[in-house]
Amino acid sequence: MSGHDLGPLFAALADDTRREILGQLASHGDQSATRLAERLPVSRQAVVKHLAALEAVGTVQRIRRGREVLFRVDPRPLRVAARWFERTAHDWDARLEALKQAAEVGE
């Protein structure tokens, strides 16, 4: 995943419930959809749909333990996004510094 492929990830993360699901998985480890639904103000079926969207962009993985299906965070896509934000912030910092210097010279 490159910075050009981040649109689907950002779209998935734009949803508050999906971000909460990721937070629950990060804080409490592997969990089933049922367990997640117990902690969230949405139905189990809604959690399953949100998990599918997160799985589609690679931020969660499905794990089978016997008959139970658990989900866990896969941080790799989030790391790609973090690196993109860092590069973008660095670029903007450089641009703003150049603008500041140009404004100071023009005074």
Q: Based on C-alpha coordinates, what's the Rg of the chain? A: 19
DSSP code string of 25-47: HHHH-SB-HHHHHHHSSS-HHHH
Number of structural domains found in the chain? 1
Whole-angstrom Cα distance, residue 58 to residue 12?
A: 10
- Cα distances from 45 to residues 16, 42, 67, 68, 105, in angstroms, run 16, 8, 18, 16, 61
Mean pLDDT for each consecutive 10-residue tract of the chain (107 residues)? 79 97 97 96 97 97 95 95 90 81 78
Tokens standing for 71? 């989900």
Residues spanned by the domain of 101: 3-105
Question: pTM for the whole thing?
Answer: 0.81
Question: Where residue 23 sits, what CATH number does that domain have?
Answer: 1.10.10.10
